[in-house]
Amino acid sequence: MASVALKSVSKQYGSKLVVEEFDLEVKDGEFIVLLGPSGCGKTTTLRMIAGLESLSSGELFFGEKPVNDIPPEDRNVGMVFQNYALYPHMSVFDNLVFGLRSRRVPKAQAAKAVSKVAKLLEIEHVLTHKPRELSGGQRQRVALGRAIVREPSVFLMDEPLSNLDANLRERMRIELAQLHARLGITTFYVTHDQGEALTLSDRIVIMDQGKVRQIGTSEEVYSKPNDTFVARFIGSPGMNLWNLEWTDGPDSILAGESVQVPTLLRSAMSRIGKVVTIGVRPEHLFLSSSGTGDVVVCLDVLAIERLGSHVQLNGVLTGNPSLTVVAKLDAGVNYRRGEKICLYAKPESVYLFDPLTERRVEVFGQ
Amino acid sequence: MITGTKKNSLGSLELDLVTNGISPKPKITSPKELLRVLKDRLVAYGLMFPALAVFVVFFYIPAAYLIYISFYHWGILSSATTYVGLKNFDILFAQPLFWHSLLTSLYYTVVMIPATVLLALAIAMLLRDGLNAKRGGLWRGAVFLPHVTPVVATSIVWVWIFNPRFGLANFILTSLHLPALGWLESQQWALPAVMIDSLWHSLGLYVIIFLAGMANVPKELLEVARLDGAKRHRVFYRIIWPLISPTTFFVVVLATVNSWQAFSQIYTMTGGPHGGAGGPAFATTTDALLVYQTAFTYLHFSLAAAMSLILFLIILTLTAMQKWISDRVVFYR
């Protein structure tokens, strides 16, 4: 097991920069999730850690040891690929033992290690099977087993659950968390599914277009997003963000024509400028006010999605039809399409961003 | 099989297949529908006809006729044919030259198959690993180019190369302080010289086939094997080699058939139209060459037909054997 450090790591293909100045220090045994949309550079970063891609610049350390020039076979990393990449012509046993035999582990010792891992992952009964005879979940376990059987110092997973159906994915996610708790191997996990990221990670690295947007715990990236990208990307659905010009008033501030915010946001808003980006999470909007000083958002309802436990309203700000609003509200109220309604949010659940830099501006020490 | 374009008829046919289980015949309900089905079939057979006609006229009929005349006394200029039973085969089996030609073909094949597979595989691996990056297309083109040149033309170039007095081959040998060889004028080296020409000419095709086979090995498998700690040679013989076994099998079958049928390069390099092909002293008289000479030099068509039939049976047996072996060792995904 090892700590891992990436220092100003960049990757360039021709003139295209796919990973830019990646800095991260990972503690021994930490579970890091690389999260971002397709093409954001997360898989490339993982492959650089594995040694399957070279670094264009920067340095990579396992513990104290620089590994830039160490080939993948000598890095002692275990990797699980999206499509599992099991050796199709070998039995499950041979798949598991291949890495050990490649490293010249004696036969008896290798067989013992395989049977231990097979027991841990409950695949003992399929050891003689070929991969094509296995179900998706079993293949997933074999791929995991192959990566952990030789006790790697770093464990890499590239969207390992994306080929499974929803139920199995949920179950495997819990099993992965348990497995990590048990083995304590430093893990990098690539996904575009924020559900997986939020539940599995010790820390999440959110990436976009090759750049790291934020590194933090699930709680931090949800409640203190660095910028509008993270705010929009984390949360389901993401945060409502409105670029609005504001006018000061004695009791409240009017932003645009239909958003009213309390005066205690004034100083923060003045620091930004005449136009601000106001952000409110859909789950922080309510139908009734809890008291004075709430943020008021008025909208025209365009679509109503009844999702059982709650209702998702999709609409546009009244008077600003180019700005969309999504709200997650309690079920049981009869909303109508075309209706104009006003929703409320507590001032502390409102975020302010600078529309030029897209970075968040502290309002109440959020 | 109905290949028509009308949705209705196809639709109702599929429905019929589903509801009635395994009834391959469409249920025709009205004369109008009957007409439509007939039209569909006509179109299908119409499309098949040109290819089928070429096959029948130039392949199946001659092949059947060849089998027929191998049991007859038949001459190209005489209209009389006499049934002679197995007499043609008796004559052949009593001919030492026939057995010699079979042995020569066997020697040629036994050397050519491993040489072809090993060299083509090695070049394909080189193209894939080393030279694939920037000018991969150029290298692949260079390797494939000999295969598209006419055998007869390039064989004449090889005759010059193997000229014992001023040829390039002996120049290279003597430069390396090795003894010069008689090549096409030597009983011992004439067939190897032909083999070198054949290899040079055919290798490009097999390299391309191996490259295609290797392209089908998923990149992730090679990566995961390296992460598993496998060195290059282990990745090759534990991952690539088993996964390209269907390709290797195909190459072996193709090389076997081509070797047994090798003709143009031998004919051109060892005498060609000036007579004496197959020499010196029958050293390069393979079965295919003997068939040609028997038929078109000595005009014993029935004997040549019988020989062709034997050649066909040999290739068929070898291919069947290879298939039998491959079913046990080849891994099909």
Query: Given a cut of 90, is residue B29 above it in pLDDT?
Result: no
Cα end-to-end span (Å), chain B = 29
The whole-angstrom separation of Cα B194 and Cα A122 is 60
B288: in domain: yes
* Chain A nearest-CA residue for B244: A89
pLDDT at residue B9, as a whole number? 42
- Axis crossing angle, helix B168-175 with helix B151-161, rounded to the nearest 10: 40
Q: What is the DSSP letter of B132?
A: S
A308-319 pLDDT tens trace: 889 999 999 998
Mean pLDDT (chain B) is 85
Helix (H) or strand (E) holding A145: helix A136-148
A88 and chain B in contact, CB less than 8 A: yes
B249: in domain: yes
What CATH number has the domain bearing residue B313?
Answer: 1.10.3720.10
pLDDT at residue A169, as a whole number? 85
A48-62, B21-35, B243-257: least confident range: B21-35
Distance from CA of A70 to the nearest CA of B (A): 12
DSSP A187-242: EEEEES-HHHHHHH-SEEEEEETTEEEEEE-HHHHHHS-SBHHHHHHSSSS--EEE
* Chain A nearest-CA residue for B221: A85
Q: Stretch B14-32: mean pLDDT, rounded? A: 56
**A and B: number of Cβ contacts within 8 A:** 64
pLDDT range class, residue B21, cuts 50, 70, 90: very low
A244-274 pLDDT tens trace: 888 888 777 888 888 888 888 888 888 888 9
Q: Is A156 helix (H, G, I), strand (E, B) or coil?
A: strand
Distance from CA of B330 to the nearest CA of A (A): 10
Chain A residues touching B228 at Cβ < 8 A: 73, 98-99, 102, 146, 150
AA identity, residue B234: R
> Using the beta-carbon criterion (under 8 Å), do B228 and A71 form an inter-chain contact?
no
Query: Given a cut of 80, is residue B11 above it in pLDDT?
Result: no
> Using the beta-carbon criterion (under 8 Å), do B224 and A85 form an inter-chain contact?
yes
Query: Given a cut of 90, is residue B116 above it in pLDDT?
Result: yes
Q: Stretch A106-110: mean pLDDT, rounded? A: 94
Residue B267 tokens read as 């004919």
B42: in domain: no
pLDDT at residue B25, as a whole number? 57
Q: Which residues of B287-305 are buried (b: 16+ CB within 10 A; e: fewer)?
A: bbbbbbbbbeeeebbbbbb
> Using the beta-carbon criterion (under 8 Å), do B229 and A150 form an inter-chain contact?
yes
Q: Is A251 exposed, middle or buried (0-12, 13-18, 19+ CB in 10 A)?
A: exposed
Q: What is the DSSP letter of A35?
A: E
The whole-angstrom separation of Cα A66 and Cα A235 is 37
- Whole-number Cα distances in Å, B313 to B87, B115, B171, B309, B319: 18, 24, 42, 6, 10
Mean pLDDT (chain A) is 90
The answer to whether A331 and A311 are in contact (CB under 8 A) is: yes
The answer to whether A294 and A346 are in contact (CB under 8 A) is: yes
The whole-angstrom separation of Cα B293 and Cα B267 is 10
Q: Is A257 helix (H, G, I), strand (E, B) or coil?
A: coil
B133 and chain A in contact, CB less than 8 A: no
Distance from CA of B114 to the nearest CA of A (A): 24
The whole-angstrom separation of Cα B137 and Cα B183 is 35
Query: Given a cut of 70, is residue A322 above it in pLDDT?
Result: yes
Distance from CA of A103 to the nearest CA of B (A): 6
Query: Given a cut of 90, is residue A227 above it in pLDDT?
Result: yes
Q: Which candidate, A168, A100, A94, A99, places its Cα nearest to that of A130?
A: A94
pLDDT at residue B13, as a whole number? 42
- For chain B, what is the radius of gyration of the CA atoms? 26
B227 and chain A in contact, CB less than 8 A: yes
Checking phi first, is residue B242 left (phi over 0); if not, alpha (psi -120 to 50) or beta?
A: alpha
Query: Given a cut of 60, is residue A77 above it in pLDDT?
Result: yes
The answer to whether A276 and A269 are in contact (CB under 8 A) is: yes
pLDDT at residue B1, as a whole number? 39
Helix (H) or strand (E) holding B178: none
B31: in domain: no
pLDDT range class, residue A7, cuts 50, 70, 90: very high
Q: Stretch B281-296: mean pLDDT, rounded? A: 88
B43: in domain: no
B329 and chain A in contact, CB less than 8 A: no
Q: What is the pTM of this model?
A: 0.77
Q: Is A354 helix (H, G, I), strand (E, B) or coil?
A: coil
B222 and chain A in contact, CB less than 8 A: no
Distance from CA of B332 to the nearest CA of A (A): 8
Range of the domain at B131: 95-329
pLDDT at residue A52, as a whole number? 92
B17: in domain: no
Of A48, A49, A52, A82, which to mutate for an interface test with B (greatest number of B Cβ within 10 Å)? A52
B67: in domain: no
B43-91 pLDDT tens trace: 999 999 999 999 999 999 999 999 998 998 888 777 778 888 888 999 9
- Whole-number Cα distances in Å, A347 to A359, B32, B111: 19, 76, 86
In this prediction, what percent of chain B has a pLDDT beyond 70? Answer: 88
Q: Stretch B180-184: mean pLDDT, rounded? A: 85
> Using the beta-carbon criterion (under 8 Å), do B229 and A71 form an inter-chain contact?
no
A54-63, A130-139, B80-89: least confident range: B80-89
Query: Given a cut of 60, is residue A14 above it in pLDDT?
Result: yes
pLDDT range class, residue B3, cuts 50, 70, 90: very low
Query: Given a cut of 90, is residue B156 above it in pLDDT?
Result: no
Distance from CA of B220 to the nearest CA of A (A): 6
Q: Which residues, other chains included, contact B293 with Cβ-Cβ below 8 Å and sequence gap of 6+? A: B277, B278, B285
- Whole-number Cα distances in Å, A307 to A84, A238, A303, A313, B208: 34, 17, 13, 11, 56
Q: Stretch B131-144: mean pLDDT, rounded? A: 74
Q: Stretch A214-237: mean pLDDT, rounded? A: 93
pLDDT range class, residue B274, cuts 50, 70, 90: low
The whole-angstrom separation of Cα B137 and Cα A22 is 35
Query: Given a cut of 80, is residue A102 above it in pLDDT?
Result: yes
A54 and chain B in contact, CB less than 8 A: no
Of A51, A73, A85, the CB nearest to B220: A85
pLDDT at residue B8, as a whole number? 43
> Using the beta-carbon criterion (under 8 Å), do A87 and B225 form an inter-chain contact?
yes
Helix segments in chain B, DSSP class H: 7-19, 31-55, 61-69, 87-94, 96-129, 136-148, 151-161, 168-175, 190-215, 219-227, 232-235, 241-243, 245-260, 264-269, 287-292, 301-329
Q: Which residues on adjacent β-strands are paired with residue A262? A: A252
pLDDT at residue A62, as a whole number? 93
B145 and chain A in contact, CB less than 8 A: no
B202-255 pLDDT tens trace: 999 999 999 989 988 998 999 999 999 888 899 999 999 999 999 999 999 999
Residue A295 tokens read as 């943020």
Helix (H) or strand (E) holding A86: none
The whole-angstrom separation of Cα A301 and Cα A317 is 9
| A residues 318-337 closer than 8 Å to B (CB) | none
Chain A residues touching B221 at Cβ < 8 A: 85, 87
* Chain A nearest-CA residue for B230: A102
pLDDT at residue A219, as a whole number? 93
Number of domains, chain B: 1
The answer to whether B72 and B302 are in contact (CB under 8 A) is: yes
Query: Given a cut of 70, is residue A220 above it in pLDDT?
Result: yes
Chain A residues touching B229 at Cβ < 8 A: 73-74, 76, 99, 102-103, 150
> Using the beta-carbon criterion (under 8 Å), do B227 and A77 form an inter-chain contact?
yes
pLDDT at residue B261, as a whole number? 87
* Chain B nearest-CA residue for A100: B228
A50 and chain B in contact, CB less than 8 A: yes
Query: Given a cut of 90, is residue B104 above it in pLDDT?
Result: yes
Query: Given a cut of 60, is residue A366 above it in pLDDT?
Result: no
Query: Given a cut of 80, is residue A340 above it in pLDDT?
Result: yes
> Using the beta-carbon criterion (under 8 Å), do A72 and B226 form an inter-chain contact?
yes
B55: in domain: no
pLDDT at residue B100, as a whole number? 93
> Using the beta-carbon criterion (under 8 Å), do B227 and A146 form an inter-chain contact?
no
Q: What is the DSSP letter of A115?
A: H
